[in-house]
Amino acid sequence: MMKSPALIQKESAYPPEFENAIAAIKTTREYTIPVIQALEKIVRPLQSRKKNELERMAAIAQKYTPHLASGAYFEALKATGNACASVNSKENEMLADSYDRVFTPMKSWVEEDFPRLMKAGHTCVTLRSLA
C-alpha cells in the first residue's frame, strides 16, 4: 500500500515545539544583528576610542593647574580636573563592562552559536528524512 503525500508529510514532520524553537532561534538572530550594530557604535573597546570631552577637560585642568599658585581659581581648576578624571574613569569602566558582558556575548552568539545550532537542526532534519 502506497502512502499518501499528506501521510508522509505528517509522519516526517517534527513536533510543533521543535519547529517553534527553530523559528524562535532564527527570529532571535534576525533581531539581534541590528542590536549588535547599534551597540557597536556606543560600546567599543577602549583602545579604539578617541579622547572624549571629559578626558580633554581633565587634561586641560591638569595642564594649567601648576600655573596658578593658589587661591580660588587653583582650587576650582584642581577640583574640575579631579571630577572630570573620576567621571571619565567611571564611564570607561561602564563601557568596558558593557562590552564584556553584553556586546561580546551577543556577537559571539550570532557568529558562533547560531551557525552551530542551525547545523545541528539541519542534521536533525537530514537524519529524520533518512529514517
- Domain ranges in the chain are 22-41+50-130
Dist CA 25 CA 103 (whole Å): 18
Greater confidence (8 vs 87) lies with 87
Confidence grade of residue 127 (pLDDT, cut at 50, 70, 90): confident
* 56 pLDDT more than 60: yes
CA 23, chain centre distance (Å): 22
Residue 56, CB half-sphere, CA atoms under 13 Å: how many? 4
Residues 6+ apart with CB under 8 A from 36: 103, 106, 107, 110
pLDDT at residue 9 in the model: 60
Reported as a single tens digit per residue, the pLDDT across 95-108 is: 889 889 988 999 99
Listed range (44-48, 64-68, 119-123, 124-128) with the worst mean pLDDT:
44-48
pLDDT at residue 123 in the model: 87
pLDDT at residue 54 in the model: 83
43 neighbors 106 (Cβ within 8 angstroms): no
pLDDT at residue 107 in the model: 92
Greater confidence (21 vs 6) lies with 21
